């Protein structure tokens, strides 16, 4: 088999296969989001008490870091899902599909940039403690 034949097969994957891959990324996005936002946040964050939250983060630093890493995996899955949805929905309407993809990517960028502030509390809090 030549490289051209393999490339053609990859480019001409069926919409059903792309939809299944998209669904898998969607499921991963949901599961990682539930873990990072639900379990980790519920364990570490004490509503209305910043000192208790900071104490929990320092006491469970590895859980905090795991939650952040899982959040980054969630965003990677969300980006892949958005790209695949664009490709799947392009035949239905290219301009609307492009707009949806742009808004999806913009949401990923905003959420990731906001979450980048989560990586600093451990290091800045430890630097201030005597």
Please write the tens of the pLDDT for every residue from 87-129.
Answer: 999 988 999 999 999 999 999 999 988 887 766 655 554 545 5
Q: Would residue 55 count as lying in a domain?
A: yes
Confidence check: pLDDT of 11 > 90: no
Q: What is the pLDDT of residue 36?
A: 86
Q: Would residue 4 count as lying in a domain?
A: no
Q: Would residue 1 count as lying in a domain?
A: no
Q: Would residue 7 count as lying in a domain?
A: no
The Cα-based distances of 50 to 53, 109, 127 in angstroms read 5, 27, 17
- Determine the average pLDDT of the residues in 17-34: 94
Give CA–CA dist 80/77, Å, rounded. 5
Q: Which distant-in-sequence residues (6+ apart) come within 8 Å of 85 by Cβ?
A: 22, 97, 100, 101, 104
**Reported pTM:** 0.76
Q: Would residue 3 count as lying in a domain?
A: no
pLDDT digits (tens, 9 = 90+) for 56-94: 988 998 998 898 899 999 999 999 999 999 999 998 899
**What is the domain range of residue 93?**
15-128
Confidence check: pLDDT of 48 > 70: yes
Q: Would residue 116 count as lying in a domain?
A: yes
In this prediction, residue 15 has a pLDDT band, given cuts at 50, 70 and 90, of confident
Q: What is the pLDDT of residue 74?
A: 93
> Domain count of the chain?
1
Q: What is the pLDDT of residue 1?
A: 54
Q: Would residue 10 count as lying in a domain?
A: no
Q: Would residue 5 count as lying in a domain?
A: no
């Amino acid at each position: 088999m030549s490289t051209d034949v393999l490339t053609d097969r990859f480019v001409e994957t069926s919409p059903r296969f792309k939809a299944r891959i998209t669904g898998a990324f969607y499921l991963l996005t949901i599961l990682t989001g539930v873990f990072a936002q639900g379990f980790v946040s519920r364990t570490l964050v004490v509503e209305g008490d910043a000192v208790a939250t900071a104490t929990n983060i320092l006491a469970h630093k590895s859980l905090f870091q795991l939650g952040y890493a899982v959040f980054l995996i969630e965003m990677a899955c969300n980006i892949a899902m958005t790209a695949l949805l664009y490709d799947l929905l392009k035949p239905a309407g290219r301009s609307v599909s492009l707009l949806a993809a742009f808004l999806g990517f913009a949401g990923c960028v905003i959420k990731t940039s906001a979450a980048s502030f989560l990586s600093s509390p451990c290091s800045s809090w430890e630097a201030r403690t005597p």
